[in-house]
Chains A and B, each alone.
Chain A
Amino acid sequence: MANQQKPLGRLNRRQLLKSLAIAGAGGAAGLSTFLASRRGQAQSAGEPRFLIVLAGAGGASMIDSFLAIRQSEAGAAAPGINCFPDNEVISVADSPFRAVNLRRNAVGAIPVPFQSNQSNFVTKHKNDLMVVTQLCTSVNHTIAQKRAITGGGSAWNGRTLQEAVAAQYGAGFALPNVNMANGGYIEPGVDRSIPVHAFAEPVAQAALWPLSLDGSRGIKDAPSRDRIALARALRDQKLEPESAFDRTFKRSERLELWKEQRLAETTLEAQDLISKLNVYPNLPPQIPLNDYGLSESPDGDKVRQKFPDFATDPLEAQAALAFLLLKNRVSVTVTISPSFNVLLDTRFPPKVVNPPLAFDFSHQSHRAAQAVMWGRLLGIADRLIDLLKAEEYANGQSFWDRSMIYIASDFGRTKKRSGGADDFGSSHDLNNGFAILSPLANGNKVLGGVDPTTGLTYGFNPEDPVGVPDRNKQMSEIEIYAGILHALGVDTSGSALPDMRAMRKNA
């Protein structure tokens, strides 16, 4: 047991070396093939499918969006549970979904008016939208976040959804699994057996991160790439091997990992990702790209039109980078998340872009926090989908045709309020569900349901593609985890994961 837990913190060192070497090779066919063959790793089977995890950090409540309850449905219980005036809950035509359109004068104690419109989003994307109910197992943010991406922590030996997707499809990609989130959403899984390339590359500053993909470009007066190559070769082949340090510590696993990771440098640089992934235009004096020999992405205009506030809103920057990572076939899975920091747009009229604590501002003002944050997430998802739909993958198929957005949530929120209050606080609750957007999912379906007199969701028959509701069943984290992977075509043989036919489009 000790031997399993010590190496490199959470990961087995040999497995990590193997995985990162292949991941480093990534996207670059030459080195990828070389390392894959050298390490005996199979290439991914089948064309890739793409997973975008969009974190509902703080607790995205399903009964404040697609499963909203009208006061008239709650009856006598209405003053005591979280339900809405009937006119604020919109039933979307030809779909089982509801949407909440709200307008209020303040976000809790923040005296800034807001309005939210979920119905436009649902109307536009209903055929790709699937809502599943679930009962999670933790109301601690960090733990619950990690369980939302690991099926409760141990669904498949503890590997995250992103690691599973990267393991399946990421072999030929430069950085198959890029994670820009935080808290439990960025924690690695604990499955020691995952093959190759599956571990996440953490990204903190999404808009500037592409600068870390080239060792010298953008540094004024730096020598030419050819000359740098001479210096690298001297270091790697002569100075280091002959040094007492290297000979003394040559069994260091960290040194071995480092040397493997360095192999990927020139390959990453050759792909010009420092340009392809750069959302920023030349904007002197703040962003003087031209002065430093840098350039923006060829897709810069297109991405900035969709995410014009990327420079001030970290979530927009993450979404922009997420699209470019997928579009340029650098990654097969990306994870993005709003932070817990407040973000105000002070232009007139002022706007609360991100309440403090994101969805968790529901402690102070449930209704406003949920409305603002759902609007924020759905807006990001809508724009990502538009971009992916407009980008051809191959043979007339778009990237979106092969993608999924999983709106993960830590947990739900308590369902109660007092005296029919419109503004009230809520706590963490195990009972909730998820929204999943994908042409690969069983779209235009609510799998499970909600009791309008309690606000509690209930489950469904996982074997039935119609998703027959079952009031006596709660869906487990493992089941939802399995359903997501199966919809993405991930081979889960040997995992003992349950079959979730109800969540697949072609069940």
Chain B
Amino acid sequence: MRPDKYLAPLCALAFLACDSTDELDGGTLPPGVDASADAGTPVDSGPIDVGPVFAESAKANLRIKSNLRLRNDLAQALGLAPNEVCLEMGQYSCTDFVHAVALGGVEPYTLGLNEPQSHTTLTTPIAVERVVMAACTKRALDDLGSAQPVIWKDLGIAADGKLADPGTAGVTNSITTLYQRGLLRDPKAREIEHLTQLYRDLEADGGANPARDWAILTCFSVLTSLEALFY
């Protein structure tokens, strides 16, 4: 699967957005940026393990997913119902209620907040991580106890909670499934390598359930990445 197959439409959208009146920096290009080669234009095939090098977007007009988009995308990626994604204390929706404003939502009916904040605030990254952590934890726990897992399949978890072998196809395939569902692309070899190393680092601390935690934290690190949160 070619990554640029998926990045190209994204970059095209970003390009269109740059033409809007809400562009940043008033269209002034930074030094050294070629305006004729915008995002989505491969300029170099790049090393095989990280993929091609794309032209740097001159305007880079991105948006962060707001509360409902985040909820729905996570639900889709992780095979959860939207109301299962994150519930504070098991009952209060993180995205629709508790953290709605921090996540870029509005609160028109009870507070009269009719417009979202124009920028992310200091608590936004924490709120986002909280939502993703809850969703990833649910997915991992459900998968590890299920005969029909959605993402974490054939990991080979031993009785002591460790992976029998982090280099198995089950691990690689699970990471691939996560990337395909969450980022709509395949992982690069380097990314698989990094995430496999994460398991070794987790296991090295001697704590319980390293395989379970690895599944949660692999999901967390991928789905809280810039690529997952901005569009």
Question: Are A and B associated in one complex?
Answer: yes
Q: Please report A residues at the B interface, Cβ cutoff 8 Å.
A: 2-3, 6-11, 13, 16, 20, 23-24, 175, 182-183, 186, 188, 199, 201-205, 208-209, 211-216, 218-224, 226-228, 230-232, 234-235, 238-240, 242-255, 257-258, 261-262, 264-265, 268-269, 286-289, 291-292, 294, 314, 339-341
If the complex has contacts A211-B99, A220-B137, A223-B216, are A239 and B62 also in contact, measured as CB distance less than 8 A? no
Answer whether A243 and B226 are a contact pair too, CB < 8 Å, given A8-B24, A204-B100, A222-B137: yes
Excluding A215-B130, A224-B213, A249-B60, 4 further A-B contacts by CB distance (< 8 Å) are A11-B118, A227-B205, A231-B198, A244-B50
Stretch of B76-84, B90-98, B162-170 on the interface side: B90-98
Question: Is the CB–CB distance between B24 and A205 below 8 Å?
Answer: no
Q: Considering the chains assembled together, what is the distance between the CA atoms of A398 and B25 in angstroms? A: 46
**A248 to B56, Cβ gap below 8 A?**
yes
Interface residue? B154 (CB, 8 A): no
Which chain B residues border A175 with CB–CB below 8 Å? 122-123
Q: B194 contacts A238, CB within 8 Å?
A: yes
What's the Cα separation between A152 and B216 when bound, in Å?
A: 51
* CB proximity of B82 to chain A, nearest CB, Å: 18
A345 CB, nearest partner CB in chain B, Å: 17
**Given A205-B98, A261-B124, A248-B89 contact (CB < 8 Å):** no
Residue of chain B at shortest CB distance from A232: B221
CB pair B56 A247 closer than 8 Å: yes
Among B58, B141, B222, which residue has its beta carbon within 8 angstroms of that of A239?
A: B222
B75 within 8 A of A: no
A280 to B167: give the CA distance in the assembly, Å: 46
Is A230 a contact partner of B201 (Cβ separation < 8 A)? Answer: yes
A2's nearest neighbour on chain B, judged by CB, is B26
**Complex: chain A residue closest to B41, CB-CB:** A248
**What residue in chain B is nearest A288 (Cβ atoms)?**
B89
Number of interface residues of B (CB under 8 A): 87
- Residue pair B101, A287 in contact (C-beta under 8 Å): no
Pair B141/A221 contact, Cβ less than 8 Å: yes
Residues A249 and B39 in contact in the complex (CB < 8 Å), given A6-B22, A202-B117, A205-B97: yes
Find chain A residues with CB under 8 A from B146 CB.
none
Interface pair B11/A246, CB less than 8 Å apart: no
Which residues of A are found within 8 Å of B225, using beta-carbon distances?
A: 235, 239-240, 243, 245
Contact B25 A201 (CB under 8 A): no
**A6–B25 alpha-carbon span in the complex (Å):** 7
Contact in complex: A250, B60 (CB < 8 Å): yes
Q: In the complex the two chains form, what is the Cα distance from A213 to B125 in whole Å?
A: 10
Chain A minimum-CB-distance residue to B228: A245
Q: Is the CB of B220 within 8 A of A228?
A: yes
Assuming the contacts A214-B126, A287-B89, asked whether A227 and B207 have C-beta atoms less than 8 A apart, the reply is: yes
A261–B98 Cα distance when bound, in Å, is: 20
A240:B226 contact, CB within 8 angstroms:
yes
B14 interface hit (Cβ, 8 Å) = yes
B61 partner residues in chain A, CB cutoff 8 A: 252
Q: How far is it, in angstroms, between the C-alpha of A469 and the C-alpha of B64 when the chains are bound?
A: 54
Q: Is the CB of B3 within 8 A of A244?
A: yes
Assess whether B133 is interfacial by the CB under 8 Å rule: yes
A338–B10 alpha-carbon span in the complex (Å): 43
Q: How far is the CA of A214 from the CA of B109 in the complex (A)?
A: 27
The 9 nearest A-B residue pairs measured at CB: A9-B118, A252-B60, A215-B129, A231-B217, A3-B26, A245-B227, A182-B112, A204-B101, A223-B213
A212 x B23 contact (CB < 8 A): no
* Nearest CB on A from B7, distance (A): 6
Contact of A234 among B21, B109, B133, B194 (CB under 8 A): B194
CA of A265 to CA of B154, assembled, Å: 34
From B3, B59, B112, residue with most partner A Cβ within 10 Å: B112
